[in-house]
Structure formats: structure tokens, C-alpha cells
Chains A and B, each alone.
Chain A
């Protein structure tokens, strides 16, 4: 039943740009943010809140532009390598940070991401400073497309990736490794008594979440055509957590429900009101207080881990 719902949802989204072509950009961005929010949600399952994941989002987008500067021009290679780069950064940062819990985990992620942000913004000669750098249009399996055609391919490829990556993450969350995450949240000591290396469980989760944020960042970079340090600012990290929580961290679809919902609502609201943050902020508070499983809670059957 839920698989059918998900498939129907993706079909509707795939068809939307046929009606309103400008929505394609908005929806591609939503997919990008959805991936990043999914990464944040993976860690939230373990009760770890990161206000720094926008760093991986940005790192991967910067990675694409640096690779392109070196002459790499193939879409698949750029996407794969930049996601791997984000995962590698995640492995390094994560190996330090997964020792910490609660507020310290949140703050350390913030610290690392703000150092990254400040470096991107200040090293004008390397990163283009606050102007950022252009993300070129890559070739797809050797075929060079015009910008419009590439953006369409990008959109449908990212929709396909939702299915493929989504299924993989679903399997991961359903595996013993994934279940161990919730166990970290509820009772970490018991997990250690059982001989499960909590450190390794969390590091794997951290790397996966960094890679997901990186995938989102690469897609966003291609879609926007430019990467700027603001990608990594702490409020961007906060928004990723917000997307994850609004959608619901109970399962893979939550992050994407949150992202599509927010981006579409934003597009609609922008013509009506300037007070977008007011609406989102209030929605966040209401969802946390009264709907702890997020919007995805409406579709869920069994009780999943809430915050």
C-alpha cells in the first residue's frame, strides 16, 4: 500500500513540470534538500542532532566545481566522486565527533561547519569568496546537452535516485545496524553491554548521512548552477533539520515529504507573504509539540521512533 502511494507520489511530481515548467527547478531543489534532510534524519534516529550538515551539502557542490576545473566533465563521475568526497570528509569529521552526544555533538558540528563556511567565504582566490563559483553543465555519457535539456535530465535522474537511494537507505535502516541507531537513542549503555561497538555504528551512520547530504548538495549545485558559501551557513543546517522533522524521521519518505511540501508551499507563499520564516517557524513548533512523528506520521502504520 505504502509502496503504491510512494510510486504515485513520485509520478505526480515527475508530471508536475509538464504543467508548470518553472516548477522543475523548485522540485529539483526539493529533491536535493530531501536527500540532505534524509541524512540528518538518519542521525536523528540515534538522537544526535547536527547543526552542521549543510557543510557536507556545500562540500560536495564545491567538489563538483573543483573537479570540473581539473577537467572532469562527466555527470556520473562528477556526481559519484563528489558524493564520495563528502563521505570522506564525513569519515574524517565523524571519527572525531561521534564520541560526543547531545548538545556537544550539535555544537561541534556547528563549529566545524562554520569554519568551513568562513574559509569558503574568505578565501576569495580559491573559492571565489562570497560570490562562489559557477557549476558547469557536464556531459552525460559523452553527450553534451544544452542547459535546458541537462536540467531536465537532472530532474528525472534525481527522481530515479530517490527510488534507488531511498530503497538502499530503507534497507540500511531496517538492518541490525539501523536498528542499533534507535537503540543508541534509547539505551546506549545496554548496547555496549551487548558487545555492539557504538562508536562504529555511529560512524557508519555519520558517513552515510554525510554522503546523503553530499548527494543533495551536488544536485543542488547542478540545478542552481552556482555554489556559494551560504550553502554551508548554520541557518541552512538548521533548515535541513527542520525539513527532516517536519516530514518525520520515521522513515525514508518523511524527508522527501518535508522537502516537497516546504518547497512547493514556499513557491506558493512567496507571492502572497514575505513572512515565510514566520510560517515555517510556527509550523515547526506546532509539529514538534503536537505531531512528533511529522507529516509522515499520517501515512505510517506502526509506531516509529520519534524525537
Chain B
């Protein structure tokens, strides 16, 4: 019995970690900017492409393979530095205070553009680079061989939850963000540079999106269409957890991960349905998500 449960739990956790990294940036951006960034999935896949390219470059130059771990992190920083400020200034800022329809459409337009930009820059072939995964080796747990990389991801996901919590609660920037979230006009009135906060928060969201893509590359292929698939998964997680709730996203990732893994083990034909069915059930009972509050509703 235990032999059957341990792989199930480990797979759920590993799966949840990947899902959490796909969704956390979306949730963070919504929590501060109140913008649902439909281009989030594209930023995720761009992170993946950049990371895979960087690791392939390291491998082709026969540099120290351990540099590829640095490359994963650095790619996310790189993508955030390029896209964060530019996108926020040129497009997202224009939508503040406008209706959700406008925000969704503007970012949907950005999504379409980024999908093609990726094709132009990275081509249309699959990218696959697994050096980081190979370097870490494997562990045999109750008869199933797991990649140590999968376990590292679980630890990192927990670290990101704790880190974001610390950032928001205990740093000056984080407190300013909280102030802006609580009352935008008031924050402005007391002299907080809300534009700077928004740009920082959006760039942090882009960083998390790209980091998610980068961390996924060692165990999955990157190909066109990844952005669209990731987007809708991130939507589901963010909605289940409550839009804008970081801890909510973590719990939602666990739910979706468990649902998917259970489906694959028990009813494989339902594996793709599981995340959305979970989303629908949660939203019908608690439309504002597990951790959301009704204050977001604007009537």
C-alpha cells in the first residue's frame, strides 16, 4: 500500500512544483497591478527558450557543465530585464484603471505578438537541453527511480513561496507593494512612487514567469504552443487559489498536481480534464478562489 502511495505523492509534489512555477508570476502581477496578464505564458516559454539556448551554448563550448545552473537563473533575469520594464511602460501602464476587457485584450495582443516573435528568434524546432538534470543524478525511492532534479524543484518551489512572503512582508519594497495593493490612491497621496512599484512588480512577475520556463527545460521540451498551454494552466491555478494570492497559488498547484497525477494513475483518459475540472468545481463553490476575497468584485 505504502509502496503505491509514495510514488503518487512524490509525483504529485514534483508535478505541483512545475505547475506552481508556471502560475506564481501571473498571480503576483495580478495582486499588485490588478492586471490579468494573458501574455504570461509566452514569457514563460521565452524563459524556457533562452535557458535552453544558454545551456546548449555552454555545452557546445565545452565549458564547465555546472555553469548551466547559473544559466537557468541568469536567463530569467535576462528576460525580465528586457521585457519587464518595456512591456509595463509601453502597454500595461496604459491599461491601469481601464476595464478588464481592455486589459485582457491588450495582453492578448501582446501574447499573439510574442508567439510569433519566438518563432522568428528561436525557430520552430523543439529545444531540449537536460545537462542540469543529468548532473544531479537519480534516487531510487520505493522501487521508482526519480530524478534528483525533480526533488530540487520541489524544494525550490517552497523556497520561492517563503521568499516572496518575506519580500512582501519584511522588505521596504514589499511593504510599498502591499500599500499600493491596499489602496492605490492613498499610496499615491502619501508620496509613494506607484509607477516605480508597478514596474518593479511587473518585472518581478516576468522574472518568475521566465524562471518557471527556465526551470522546466531540463525535464521537458520547449516548442511552439507551449506558451498557450502554460497560460491556461496558470489561469486555472491562479483562479483556484484566488487571483493575487501567492499562498493560494501554492495550494492550488498541489490540488492540480494531485488531480493530474491521480488521473494518470487511475483514469488516464481524464488527465487533461483534471486541472480545468478542479478549477470549475472550486470556482462554482468559491468564485473568488480558495484564498480570494470578495473585495475584488466590482459592481
CB <8 Å contact, B269 and A101:
no
CB <8 Å contact, A108 and B272:
no
Residue B108 contacts which of A104, A242, A276 (CB distance < 8 angstroms)?
A: A242
CB <8 Å contact, A275 and B228:
no
Residues in A whose Cβ lies below 8 Å from that of B276: 111, 114-115, 117-118
The B-contacting residues of A in range 255-307, CB under 8 angstroms, are 274-278, 280-285, 288-289, 307
The A-contacting residues of B in range 216-240, CB under 8 angstroms, are 228, 231-232, 235-236, 239
Q: Considering the chains assembled together, what is the distance between the CA atoms of A66 and B225 in angstroms?
A: 30
Q: Which A-chain residue is minimally distant from B282 (CB atoms)?
A: A111
The A-contacting residues of B in range 91-115, CB under 8 angstroms, are 91, 94, 99-102, 104-106, 108-115
CB <8 Å contact, B113 and A277:
yes
A102 sits at the interface (CB 8 A): yes
Residues in B whose Cβ lies below 8 Å from that of A112: 280
With A115-B277, A123-B269, A281-B116 as known contacts, state yes or no: A103 contacts B36, CB within 8 Å. Answer: yes
Residue B280 contacts which of A51, A111, A235, A283 (CB distance < 8 angstroms)?
A: A111
Q: Considering the chains assembled together, what is the distance between the CA atoms of A124 and B270 in angstroms?
A: 11
CB <8 Å contact, B287 and A104:
yes
CB <8 Å contact, B239 and A111:
yes
B297 sits at the interface (CB 8 A): yes
With both chains docked as a complex, state the minimum distance between the C-beta of B139 and any C-beta of chain A, in angstroms. Answer: 32
Residue A111 contacts which of B228, B236, B270 (CB distance < 8 angstroms)?
A: B236
Most chain A CB atoms below 10 A, which of B106, B109, B280: B109
With A102-B297, A107-B239, A111-B239 as known contacts, state yes or no: A284 contacts B105, CB within 8 Å. Answer: yes
Q: Considering the chains assembled together, what is the distance between the CA atoms of A307 and B102 in angstroms?
A: 7
Using an 8 Å CB-CB cutoff, how does the interface string of B258-299 with A read, 1 for contact, 0 for none?
Answer: 000000000001111100110110011001100000001111
Q: Considering the chains assembled together, what is the distance between the CA atoms of A281 and B105 in angstroms?
A: 9
CB <8 Å contact, B298 and A47:
no
Q: Considering the chains assembled together, what is the distance between the CA atoms of A278 and B284 in angstroms?
A: 36
CB <8 Å contact, A118 and B273:
yes
A211 sits at the interface (CB 8 A): no
Residues in B whose Cβ lies below 8 Å from that of A276: 116
Interface size class of B (residues with CB under 8 A): 35 or more
Q: Which B-chain residue is minimally distant from A238 (CB atoms)?
A: B108
Residues in A whose Cβ lies below 8 Å from that of B288: 104
CB <8 Å contact, A188 and B108:
no
Interface size class of A (residues with CB under 8 A): 35 or more
B119 sits at the interface (CB 8 A): yes
Q: Which A-chain residue is minimally distant from B292 (CB atoms)?
A: A104
Residues in B whose Cβ lies below 8 Å from that of A278: 112-113, 116-117, 120
CB <8 Å contact, B270 and A122:
yes
A106 sits at the interface (CB 8 A): yes
B79 sits at the interface (CB 8 A): no
Q: Considering the chains assembled together, what is the distance between the CA atoms of A83 and B170 in angstroms?
A: 56
Residue A110 contacts which of B110, B228, B235, B243 (CB distance < 8 angstroms)?
A: B235
Residues in B whose Cβ lies below 8 Å from that of A103: 36, 100, 243, 296
A119 sits at the interface (CB 8 A): yes
Residue A101 contacts which of B114, B239, B299 (CB distance < 8 angstroms)?
A: B299
Q: Which A-chain residue is minimally distant from B284 (CB atoms)?
A: A96
CB <8 Å contact, A275 and B120:
yes
CB <8 Å contact, B228 and A234:
yes
Q: Which B-chain residue is minimally distant from A108 (CB atoms)?
A: B283
Q: Considering the chains assembled together, what is the distance between the CA atoms of A234 and B230 in angstroms?
A: 12
B46 sits at the interface (CB 8 A): no
Q: Considering the chains assembled together, what is the distance between the CA atoms of A49 and B273 in angstroms?
A: 23
With A106-B100, A281-B110 as known contacts, state yes or no: A188 contacts B105, CB within 8 Å. Answer: no
Residue B101 contacts which of A47, A188, A285 (CB distance < 8 angstroms)?
A: A47
A85 sits at the interface (CB 8 A): no
With both chains docked as a complex, state the minimum distance between the C-beta of B291 and any C-beta of chain A, in angstroms. Answer: 15
A100 sits at the interface (CB 8 A): yes
Residue B297 contacts which of A104, A117, A285 (CB distance < 8 angstroms)?
A: A104
The 5 closest A-B pairs by CB, nearest first: A281-B112, A281-B113, A284-B109, A278-B116, A49-B101
Give 11 new A-B contacts, CB below 8 A, not counting A101-B299, A119-B273. A99-B287, A103-B36, A112-B280, A115-B273, A115-B276, A117-B276, A277-B113, A278-B116, A281-B113, A288-B109, A307-B101
User: Hey, which bits of chain A sit against chain B, CB under 8 A?
Assistant: 44, 47-49, 51, 96, 99-104, 106-108, 110-112, 114-115, 117-119, 121-124, 188-189, 233-235, 238, 241-242, 245, 274-278, 280-285, 288-289, 307
User: Hey, which bits of chain B sit against chain A, CB under 8 A?
Assistant: 36, 38, 91, 94, 99-102, 104-106, 108-117, 119-120, 228, 231-232, 235-236, 239, 243, 269-273, 276-277, 279-280, 283-284, 287-288, 296-299
26 contacts between A and B (CB under 8 A): A96-B284, A103-B243, A104-B283, A110-B235, A111-B239, A114-B236, A114-B279, A118-B273, A121-B272, A122-B269, A122-B270, A233-B228, A234-B231, A234-B232, A241-B105, A242-B108, A275-B119, A275-B120, A277-B112, A278-B112, A280-B112, A281-B108, A281-B110, A281-B112, A282-B109, A285-B91
